[in-house]
Amino acid sequence: MAWTFAIREAREHDWLQIWPIIHDVITEQQTFAYDPAMSEDDAKRGWLLSAPARVVVAAGDDLILGSANMYTNRPGPGSHVASGSLMVAKQARGKAWDVPLPPT
């Protein structure tokens, strides 16, 4: 069974659901080499980046099951190169997602 979600820009109040996802991922130490003792404040500063970066969530109703951020890799001549991270909630990993992508 696929879940239907929309990909949308993250909002400030989404942090309440994004933080548990990030905390689970970094404490598992399987995919991200972040400090597992990272504080919530440090995680928020590092994830909810300001423009021109983008932060999105996979959201359906009031539930967020994933978040991604995209940002400039290097300033100056490397500013055309992007980096990004994606983290998914435990309950959504390995599941089928029916996610309409936003228009470009």
CATH of the domain at 58: 3.40.630.30
Kindly report the average pLDDT of the chain as a whole number.
87
Evaluate whether residue 11 is within a structural domain.
no
For the chain, the C-alpha Rg in angstroms (whole number) is 14
Question: Do the domain assignments include residue 54?
Answer: yes
Query: What amino acid is encoded at 99 in this protein?
Result: V
Specify the number of domains making up the chain. Answer: 1
Cα separation values, 8 from 15, 34, 65, 72, 80, Å: 14, 25, 12, 20, 23
Domain assignment present for residue 5? The answer is no
* Residue 34 domain boundaries: 16-92
Q: Is residue 39 part of a domain?
A: yes
The answer to whether residue 58 is domain-embedded is: yes
Q: Specify the pTM.
A: 0.84
Is 42 within a domain?
Answer: yes
Average pLDDT of the residues in 78-104: 76
State the pLDDT confidence band at 62, using cuts at 50, 70 and 90.
confident
Q: What is the mean pLDDT of residues 63-88?
A: 88
Residue 32 located in a structural domain: yes
Say if 8 falls within a structural domain. no
Residues in contact with 79: Cβ distance below 8 Å, sequence separation at least 6, in sequence order: 72, 73
- Do 64 and 17 form a contact (C-beta atoms < 8 A)? yes
Identify the DSSP state of 94.
Answer: T
